[in-house]
Amino acid sequence: MIIGLTKILTRRNLVYLIGGLLLYVQGCAKYVEFEAVLPPENNTLAKYQKIVIVNSDRGKHLNDLMENALKTQLTSIYPGNVKPGKAIDKIGTEIKLFNYNPKIMSTPEEKTAYLSYDLKADEKLNRQRTTSRVPLQSCDYLRKKNPCRVTGTASLASGTQTLTVILTGKIHLNDGTGNAIIPTAPIQKTLTDSGKIIKTPSNLIFSAINQVAVDYAKRIIPYKRITSSEILRGGDTVSVKLIENKAFGLAINRLDKIVTNNDDPDFEDYYNLGLSYEALNELRPALEYYLRADERESGNAVIQASLKRVRRIVQE
């Protein structure tokens, strides 16, 4: 029987059969998508505690739009300081202590960065008009045959318009002494809308300014983006299912008990615990458990990739 099977199988089929058996034993890799915090292009700003946006021409519509766009993007997350959610009992305690005297903390000048910008917007509107001759008809639908007859022709005018907005300028990021923290970034953004009905210049300018602010924020602070990360199997299977279904809080509760009560936890449980924390943007505990997983399984490519991603954001 074995001899007969060997004759039937070609070398290529044997390779596929063996590969299929290994895949069946090991299982396919599983991934989970979540909104990860990714490191900026330039991490020089990490040592600064505050950014002051300097609007040199406040009251000018263009400058005020840029100021608001930059504020929105630069305060969406806090570099290296993404804090976990508070427990219910802690929130209750804080409510009881509501009438407390707040402390106003000042930021040292050497920890303050100043962001300023120069901005200019140009608009170009082109209109194209076309004229065509169309037949005019008179119809009498009480007639069974040929109810319509041509009575003449008329001119029909139509056309399209194209609006182009060009945003130019520069963005500067300096310290308190005026020295550049990172090189000056040029602004060059062009948006176009065309058709019979188009957006107003103000709408296009607003969109262009927001795109500039988004692009610049990614250069200097961590930003969020949907990413996919592998779930390691080999540890607790229930927590793997929870992570697959994006029940990250439940996975954390379960894995935390497992790694705490186990004298020798599996590195997969440490990694998956870090992955669950990262998925909730709680980066410090995520880094801690990625490091523990790396201690037990040094050189694992999946652990190294996640560790590198989080380590570049959280300052140890």
Amino acid at 29: A
pLDDT tier at 245 (50, 70, 90 boundaries)? Answer: very high
Structural tokens at position 90: 């802690």
Nearest to 271 by CA among 250, 254, 253, 286: 286
Query: Which residues sit opposite 119 in a β-bridge?
Result: 169
Q: pLDDT tens digit string along 90-140?
A: 555 665 666 555 555 577 888 899 999 999 999 999 988 878 888 888 888
Residues forming CATH 3.30.160.150 domain(s) in the chain: 40-78+109-123+163-221
Q: What is 40-78+109-123+163-221's CATH topology?
A: Double Stranded RNA Binding Domain (3.30.160)
CB 130 within 8 A of CB 158: yes
Structural tokens at position 69: 């766009």
Mean of the per-residue pLDDT values for the chain?
83
pLDDT tier at 189 (50, 70, 90 boundaries)? Answer: very high
Mean pLDDT, rounded, for 241-253:
94
pLDDT tier at 260 (50, 70, 90 boundaries)? Answer: very high
Is the model's pLDDT at 6 over the cut of 50?
no
Is the model's pLDDT at 4 over the cut of 60?
no
Is CATH 1.10.10.10 the right assignment for the domain spanning 24-38+225-311?
Answer: no
More confident residue, 104 or 274: 274
Contacts for 52 with CB less than 8 Å, ≥ 6 apart: 112, 113, 114, 115
Show the 3-state SS of the chain. Answer: CHHHHHHHCCHHHHHHHHHHHHHHHHCCCEEEEEEEEECCCCCHHHHCCEEEEECCCCCCHHHHHHHHHHHHHHCCCCCCCCCCCCCHHHHHHHHHCCCCCCCCCCCCHHHEEEEEEEEEEEEEEEEEEEEEEEEEEEECCCCCCCCEEEEEEEEEEEEEEEEEEEEEEEEEEECCCCCEEEEEEEEEEEEEEEECCCCCHHHHHHHHHHHHHHHHHHHHCCEEEEEEEEECCCCCHHHHHHHHCCCHHHHHHHHHHHHHHCCCCCHHHHHHHHHHHHHCCCHHHHHHHHHHHHHHCCCCHHHHHHHHHHHCCCCC
Residue 101 CB neighbours (<10 A): 4
pLDDT tier at 315 (50, 70, 90 boundaries)? Answer: low
pLDDT tier at 24 (50, 70, 90 boundaries)? Answer: very low
The pTM for the full model equals 0.64
pLDDT of residue 77: 62
Is the model's pLDDT at 263 over the cut of 60?
yes
Residues forming CATH 1.25.40.10 domain(s) in the chain: 24-38+225-311
Q: pLDDT tens digit string along 51-84?
A: 899 998 989 999 999 999 999 888 876 543 333 3
More confident residue, 155 or 232: 232
